[in-house]
Amino acid sequence: MDITVNILLTIATAATPLLIAAIGELVVERSGVLNLGVEGMMIMGAVGGFGAGYLTGSPWIGLLAAIAMGAVFSLLFAVMTLSLATNQVATGLSLTLLGLGLSGMMGTSFVGQPGERLPNLYIPVLTDIPVVGRLLFGQDPIFYISIALTAAVMWFLFKTRTGLTLRSIGDSHTSAHALGIKVIRYRYLAVIFGGACAGLAGGHLSLVYTPQWVENMTAGRGWIALALVVFASWRPWRVLAGAYIFGAVWIGQLHAQAFGIPVPSQLLSSLPYLATVVVLVLISRNKRLTMMNTPASLGQPFVPDR
């Protein structure tokens, strides 16, 4: 039973950064913007969070720094694509490459240093309940933030007037502009929110998942988060389910290696990425579902004076 609980705890820990990054990107894409720089924003959040936590001795300050780093990095993307109308795909890829290189340079002095870890929640009596106590009341704080964030985004997009406006911009920015909606302003806020979420996801990696700094420690999680948004058909609750499925695959291959299953370790390590490819192939077969939920203006630049 203890082994089962520990596996479930590690699955939740592995799924949390995927969920947070994907929820942020979902809001961005709902506004009609395609940001492929999630990996770059995550790695910058990871190095910023670890650095601030290490220098101040406070993981909470590190967490705030991770969020700020992701938001600032996303602002660069917003200026390029929304104000200067550059190609969103090329700019997002460039942002990822910049983040990977810049984080490596910034984190040189942090390699091998002990990090500050966010403590897990502990509620007397409740956390001590067998089996469910640790699962429900003994997780790290970012786990609870990720669940609350998913619920908040679901409510915002489908239960508020502002959320309806954001979705209308994603479906037709020209029509929204004709109605007097500030398209660029909404998209700026959506992109910055997505960047803050990606930074928080990166901070989780360096402050909770593995409280240390390792170059390229995101290991492709930003790309998996992007695939999760498509997998979920731009629905928050499906993102939640998908994140935990991918988290289980990620942890499953680690435990398979630990148990000595006679399969090449390289194949086991590639399972999360193979699962991503398989999911995208399966989704692409249902073109009706994909077209029905995809924001119609996704990836299209918008310049009001043209």
- Higher-pLDDT residue of 115, 157: 157
Domain presence at residue 298: no
How far apart CA 144 and CA 130 sit, in angstroms, is: 20
pLDDT digits (tens, 9 = 90+) for 84-103: 989 999 999 999 999 999 99
How far apart CA 303 and CA 88 sit, in angstroms, is: 13
How far apart CA 49 and CA 199 sit, in angstroms, is: 8
Domain presence at residue 125: yes
CATH of the domain at 176: 1.10.3470.10
**Nearest Cα to 198, choosing from 58, 18, 30, 60?**
18
- Higher-pLDDT residue of 254, 73: 73
How far apart CA 121 and CA 132 sit, in angstroms, is: 14
Q: Calculate mean pLDDT across residues 211-218.
A: 91
Exposure string (b/e) for 256-284, b if CB count within 10 Å is 16 or more? Answer: eeeeeeeeeeeebeebbbebbeebeeebe
Only one residue has tokens 């007397």, namely: 124
Share above pLDDT 70 across residues of the chain, in percent, rounded to a whole number: 92
Domain presence at residue 160: yes
Domain presence at residue 305: no
The pLDDT of residue 253 is above 80: no
pLDDT digits (tens, 9 = 90+) for 146-184: 999 999 999 999 999 999 999 999 999 999 999 999 999
Q: How many domains is the chain partitioned into structurally?
A: 1
pLDDT for the residue numbered 270: 76
Contact predicate 119/208, CB 8 Å: no
- Higher-pLDDT residue of 272, 246: 246
- Higher-pLDDT residue of 268, 174: 174
Domain presence at residue 301: no
Q: Helix, strand, coil % (nearest 5) of the chain?
A: 75, 0, 25
Mean of per-residue pLDDT scores for the chain: 89
| Non-local CB neighbours of 74 within 8 Å, separated by 6+ positions | 35, 37, 41, 191, 192, 194, 195, 196, 198
- The mean-pLDDT minimum among 41-45, 126-130, 241-245 falls in 126-130
Domain presence at residue 302: no
Share above pLDDT 90 across residues of the chain, in percent, rounded to a whole number: 61
pLDDT for the residue numbered 130: 83
Grouping H, G, I as helix, E, B as strand and the rest as coil, residue 21 is helix
The pLDDT of residue 259 is above 80: no
The pLDDT of residue 268 is above 70: no
Contact predicate 118/63, CB 8 Å: yes
pLDDT for the residue numbered 294: 85
Domain presence at residue 103: yes
Q: Calculate mean pLDDT across residues 279-306.
A: 76
Domain presence at residue 51: yes
Residue 23: which domain range?
2-293
For residue 294, the surrounding DSSP H or E stretch is none
